[in-house]
C-alpha cells in the first residue's frame, strides 16, 4: 500500500506489476486500486519454491515508485512416492539359495520434509523380503527355498508410502517366475502291479500297462519305461516280458506254459529325461492262468514197456461191493481242469462191475456166477472238468477164479483210508489159499505112494522130508509119475498156520529125460 502527499487528482494512486518481473507475474494478480495481490494460477512448490515480484505505484501526476515483493511457496503433501526399478531377474531357478537378489529398485518423493520421507513394505510375502542397499535403494531377495511344483509364479507387491498428512503411497508388482530343476523322480500310481495271462497265449500279447508321473516340467517331466534286472547281480532282465517305452504297456513276447511257469516277476523302471536323469522302479507280477491243455494220465493200471497190464483176480466167493481194483490218474492242469471223474465205458459183463465216479474204485456190482466169463475186460473212461473236457481210458483185465471154498475178496468201505493196500492183501490171501490147496494135494499123493511101498516091502516107513524126496525121485525114475516135472515138498511144523514153501523143481536128483 502506498501513500501520496498531494491532493486531488495528483493524490490518486494506481498499482501494477513491473514488466521486468518475468514470468512470475502471470501467476499472480494485483488490484490496481487497492494493491491487493492474488493468485492467478496454482503454485507448485516442486517447480518453484519462491517468486519475486516488482510492484509499481503511480499517482495521478505521473510520479511512480516501485517495491520488490518475494512470495515463498510452502510445500504440501501432494506427490506420491515413486518406485524406479533398476534391475529385475525372472525367471529364477527353484533351487536358488536364500538371499538371492531378484530385483533392485529406488524410491523417491518430490515433496520435502516429512512429506518426502518414504518407507517400503511387501504385502503378505513369506518367500521374499526387502533389504536396504544404499540411500533410497532397496533389494528384493529370497528368504526361503522355492518349489516350482508347489508354486510356479510368485506375485510380489512392493508398497512405498510417505509420512505426510494424509500419507500418500504407490506400489509396484513383480511377477517372479520359477524355472524348473530336475528334483523329482517319476512316481508310479501303484506300489505294485499284478497282471494275468492265459497260457498258450499269442506272441507279443498286451496284458496291461504301468503308469508313472513326474512333477517336473519339460524334459525333466518326460517319462520313459524299461524292464530292468530284478537283482543287481543279474546282467539281463526277463526275456519273455517287455514294456513299451512311451506308453508303459506290458507285453508277453512268447507263449507261456502254466505247467512249466505259473508266475514270474519283473521290475519296470520309469526314468525322466533330466540331467542327471532320475528314476524309480516297481514290481510287476505276472500270473499265468491255466488252460485245459493236458489230458488225464493213467498211472494204474498201466502197461509198462509195451506189455499188457496184469490181471486182477476175483475169487468165486466174492460178494457185491468188494473192491476189485482202482484206477489211479492224474492231470497236470490245475483247478477244475484237474478235477477227474471216472466212468465205466465198456465191459464184458457191464452189470458185474461198477466204477466210483470220484474215487475210480472198481467194485463188484453183484457176486460172480458160473455164467460169467472167466476173463473179464473193462475199459474205464477218465475225464477232467475243463472246458472243453479232455479224457483218457484205462484197460483192466479181471480173472474170475473158479472153485468153492475160495475166500471172498475183503470188503472195504468207500471211506477206507488205503484202497491199494487192501487190494494187495486180498490178492495175497487168494494166492496163499490156492497154493495151500495144491500143497495138500501133493502131500496126500506122496503119502499114498509111501503107504503102498510099505505094504510091498513090509519095512518101516519114514514120513520125513528126506524120505518123501527119495520116494518121489525113485518113482520118477521108475516111470510111475506121469508128470514132466519133479517137486520137492518140505513141510514144517505149523506150516498150516503161517508158513509155507512153494513147490520147486528138483532137477539134480532126476535123470535128464524126466525133467525139462
Query: Which pLDDT score, from 0 to 100, does residue 309 have?
Result: 65
Query: Which pLDDT score, from 0 to 100, does residue 111 have?
Result: 87
Q: Are 194 and 287 in contact (CB under 8 A)?
A: yes
Q: How far apart are the C-alpha atoms of 81 and 295, rounded to whole Å?
A: 95
Q: Which of 11-15, 371-375, 496-500 has the lowest mean pLDDT?
A: 496-500
Number of H helices, E strands in the chain: 2, 33
Asked if pLDDT for residue 279 goes beyond 90, the answer is: yes
User: Pick the residue with more confidence: 162 or 512?
Assistant: 162
Query: Which pLDDT score, from 0 to 100, does residue 468 have?
Result: 35
- Residue-wise pLDDT tens digits, 349-397: 989 999 999 999 999 999 998 888 989 999 999 999 999 999 999 999 9
**Structure confidence at residue 474 as a pLDDT band (50, 70, 90):** very low
Q: Are 78 and 166 in contact (CB under 8 A)?
A: no
Q: In which region does residue 35 sit, left (phi positive, over 0), alpha (psi from -120 to 50) or beta (all else)?
A: left
**Structure confidence at residue 89 as a pLDDT band (50, 70, 90):** very high
Query: CA angle, 403 as apex, 398 and 407 as ends, to 5°?
Result: 75
User: Pick the residue with more confidence: 326 or 55?
Assistant: 326
**Structure confidence at residue 2 as a pLDDT band (50, 70, 90):** low
Segment 500-507 long-range contacts (CB within 8 Å, at least 24 positions apart): 500/432, 500/435, 500/436, 500/439, 502/435, 503/438, 503/439, 503/442, 506/469, 506/472, 506/473
Q: Which of 243, 260, 257 is nearest to 198 (CA)?
A: 257
What is the bridge-based pairing of β-strands 328-330 and 297-300?
A: antiparallel
Cell of 285: 507280477
CA 166 vs CA 79, 107, 115, 118, 467: distances in Å: 11, 19, 9, 13, 153
pTM above threshold 0.85: no
**Structure confidence at residue 449 as a pLDDT band (50, 70, 90):** confident
Q: Kindly report the average pLDDT of the chain as a whole number.
A: 81
Query: Which pLDDT score, from 0 to 100, does residue 200 have?
Result: 93
Query: Which pLDDT score, from 0 to 100, does residue 465 have?
Result: 40
**Structure confidence at residue 495 as a pLDDT band (50, 70, 90):** very low
Neighbour-count burial for 322-335, b at 16+ CB within 10 Å, e otherwise: bbbbbbbbebbbee
- Residue-wise pLDDT tens digits, 23-68: 667 788 888 888 888 888 888 777 788 888 888 888 877 788 888 8
Q: Which of 198-207, 399-408, 468-477 has the lowest mean pLDDT?
A: 468-477
Q: Which of 51, 2, 3, 43 is nearest to 24 (CA)?
A: 51
Asked if pLDDT for residue 500 goes beyond 50, the answer is: no
DSSP state, residue 49: S
Asked if pLDDT for residue 270 goes beyond 90, the answer is: yes
Q: Which of 208-217, 296-305, 507-516 has the lowest mean pLDDT?
A: 507-516
Angle of the 419-457 helix axis to the 465-478 helix axis, nearest 10: 70
Q: What are the chain's domains?
A: 9-72 (2.60.40.60), 82-179 (2.60.40.60), 187-230+238-289 (2.60.40.60), 297-401 (2.60.40.60)
**Within 10 A of 304 (CB to CB), how many other CB atoms are there?**
8
303-332: average pLDDT = 82
Query: Which pLDDT score, from 0 to 100, does residue 38 have?
Result: 86
Amino acid at each position: 500500500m502506498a501513500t501520496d502527499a498531494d491532493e486531488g487528482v495528483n493524490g490518486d494512486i494506481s498499482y501494477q506489476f513491473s514488466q521486468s518481473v518475468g514470468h512470475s507475474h502471470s501467476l499472480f494478480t494485483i488490484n490496481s486500486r487497492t494493491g491487493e495481490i492474488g493468485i492467478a494460477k496454482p503454485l507448485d512448490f516442486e517447480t518453484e519454491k519462491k517468486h519475486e515480484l516488482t510492484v509499481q505505484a503511480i499517482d495521478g501526476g505521473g510520479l511512480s515508485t516501485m517495491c520488490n515483493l518475494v512470495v515463498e511457496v510452502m510445500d504440501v503433501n501432494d506427490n506420491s512416492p515413486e518406485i524406479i526399478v533398476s534391475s529385475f531377474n525372472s525367471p529364477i531357478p527353484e533351487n536358488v539359495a536364500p538371499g538371492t537378489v531378484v530385483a533392485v529398485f529406488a524410491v523417491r518423493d518430490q515433496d520435502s520434509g516429512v512429506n518426502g520421507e518414504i518407507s517400503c513394505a511387501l504385502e503378505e510375502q513369506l518367500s521374499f523380503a526387502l533389504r536396504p542397499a544404499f540411500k533410497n535403494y532397496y533389494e528384493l531377495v529370497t528368504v526361503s527355498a522355492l518349489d516350482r511344483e508347489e508354486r510356479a509364479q510368485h506375485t510380489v507387491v512392493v508398497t512405498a508410502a510417505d509420512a505426510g498428512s494424509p500419507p500418500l503411497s504407490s506400489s509396484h508388482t513383480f511377477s517372479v517366475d520359477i524355472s524348473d530343476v530336475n528334483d523329482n523322480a517319476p512316481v508310479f500310481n501303484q506300489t505294485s502291479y499284478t497282471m494275468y495271462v492265459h497260457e498258450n497265449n499269442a506272441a507279443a500279447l498286451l496284458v496291461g500297462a504301468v503308469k508313472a508321473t513326474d512333477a517336473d516340467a519339460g524334459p525333466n517331466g518326460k517319462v520313459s519305461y524299461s524292464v530292468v534286472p530284478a537283482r543287481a547281480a543279474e546282467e539281463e532282465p526277463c526275456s519273455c516280458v517287455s514294456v513299451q517305452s512311451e506308453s508303459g504297456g506290458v507285453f508277453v513276447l512268447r507263449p507261456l506254459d502254466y505247467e512249466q511257469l505259473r508266475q514270474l516277476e519283473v521290475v519296470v523302471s520309469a526314468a525322466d529325461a533330466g540331467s542327471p536323469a532320475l528314476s524309480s522302479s516297481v514290481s510287476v507280477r505276472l500270473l499265468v492262468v491255466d488252460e485245459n491243455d493236458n489230458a488225464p494220465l493213467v498211472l494204474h493200471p498201466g502197461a509198462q514197456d509195451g506189455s499188457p497190464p496184469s490181471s486182477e483176480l476175483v475169487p468165486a466167493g466174492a460178494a457185491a461191493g468188494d473192491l476189485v481194483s482202482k484206477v489211479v490218474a492224474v492231470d497236470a492242469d490245475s483247478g477244475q481242469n484237474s478235477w477227474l471223474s471216472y466212468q465205466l465205458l465198456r465191459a464184458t459183463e457191464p452189470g458185474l462191475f461198477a466204477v466210483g465216479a470220484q474215487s475210480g474204485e472198481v467194485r463188484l456190482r453183484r457176486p460172480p456166477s458160473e455164467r460169467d466169463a472167466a476173463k473179464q475186460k473193462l475199459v474205464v473212461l477218465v475225464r477232467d472238468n475243463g472246458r472243453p473236457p479232455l479224457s483218457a481210458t484205462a484197460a483192466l483185465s479181471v480173472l474170475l477164479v473158479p472153485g468153492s471154498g475160495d475166500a471172498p475178496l475183503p470188503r472195504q468201505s468207500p471211506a477206507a483210508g488205503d484202497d491199494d493196500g487192501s487190494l494187495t492183501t486180498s490178492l495175497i490171501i487168494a494166492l496163499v489159499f490156492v497154493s495151500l490147496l495144491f500143497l495138500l494135494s501133493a502131500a496126500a499123493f506122496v503119502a499114498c505112494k509111501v503107504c503102498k511101498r510099505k505094504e510091498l516091502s513090509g519095512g518101516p516107513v519114514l514120513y520125513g522130508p528126506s524120505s518123501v524126496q527119495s520116494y518121489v525121485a525113485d518113482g520118477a525114475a521108475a516111470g510111475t509119475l506121469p508128470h514132466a516135472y519133479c517137486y520137492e515138498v518140505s513141510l514144517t511144523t505149523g506150516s498150516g498156520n503161517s508158513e509155507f514153501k512153494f513147490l520147486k523143481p528138483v532137477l539134480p536128483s532126476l535123470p535128464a529125460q524126466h525133467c525139462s
